[in-house]
Amino acid sequence: MNLQMNEPLPGFDRPLDVLRTYHRRLLGCLETLEHLQTHIHIHGSDARAQATAQRLLKCFHASATYSHADKNEDLFPRLKHLGNHPGRYTRLPDWLDHLAAEHESLKQGWSRLEPALLDIAEGHDASLDGTAEWITQYRRHLTIEEESLLPLAEQLLDADQRRAIGQSMARRREVELHPAG
C-alpha cells in the first residue's frame, strides 16, 4: 500500500502545508491507480483489486474534494485579489481561472473513472482503459501547483490571510479550531 495515501495532515494553522499533503496523497493515489490498472489486466477484480479500489475511492473522495474546494473557494480568491492591483501580478487572475478550470476537467475525468472503481470494489470486472491520460493530466496539474502556485502563495499571503484560509478549511471539514495561547 502506498503510504502517501494515508499521510497525516498538519494543523490548519499551516494551510499551505495541508494542501501539499493532499497533493502527496493524490500522487500516491495516482501511483496506486496505475498499479491497479496493471493488476486487473492480469488478475481481474480479485480481493486485492477490490481492496485497492475501495482505498482509491476513499482517497480520491476526501483528498481531491477537499483540495479543490480549499483552492477554489479560499486560496484562489485571495490570490486573485492580489492580482487585481495595477502593476502587480496582472496575469495571476487568468492563471488561477485556468487552474480552477483544470479542477473541473479533473472532476469530469473522475466521474468517468469512479463507476469502474465502484464495480471493481464490488468484485465485478471493469476496464480502467483511458485512465493513463487522466493520470498524466492530474500529475501535470499537481506539479504546476507544487512548483508555482504554492511557492507564490507562500510569498504573497500574510499571516492573517493564511490564518483565514486555515480557519475556512477547518470549517469545511467541521473541525473545531482552538485559539493559541
**Domain span including residue 42:** 12-172
Query: Averaged over 70-90, what is the pLDDT?
Result: 82
- At residue 84, the pLDDT reads 65
**Residue 179 maps to a domain:** no
Residue 23 lies inside a defined structural domain of this protein: yes
What total of structural domains would you count in the chain? 1
Quick one: pLDDT at residue 175? 84
Residues 28 and 19: their CA atoms lie apart, in Å, by: 14
108 is a domain residue: yes
- Whether residue 6 lies inside any domain: the answer is no
All cell numbers assigned to 26: 493524490
Q: What is the pLDDT of residues 11-42, one digit of tens each?
A: 899 999 999 999 999 999 999 999 999 999 99
CATH code for position 78: 1.20.120.520
**pLDDT tops 90 at residue 110:** yes
CB 41 within 8 A of CB 147: no
Signed CA dihedral, 79, 27, 140, 60: sign only? negative
- Give the CA angle between residues 96, 169, 73 to the nearest 5°: 30
Average pLDDT score over residue span 71-94: 81
Residue 130 has pLDDT above 80, yes or no: yes
| 4 is a domain residue | no
pLDDT band at 1 (very low <50, low <70, confident <90, very high): very low
Q: Position 97: which residue type?
A: D
Percentage above 90 pLDDT, the chain: 75
Residue 24 lies in a domain: yes
With a pLDDT cut of 70, the percent of the chain lying above it is 92
Whether residue 142 lies inside any domain: the answer is yes
> Which residue reads 490564518 in cell numbers?
163
Domain membership flag for residue 128: yes
Q: Return the pLDDT at 2.
A: 53
Distance CA 175, CA 181 (A): 18
Indicate the DSSP class of residue 50. H
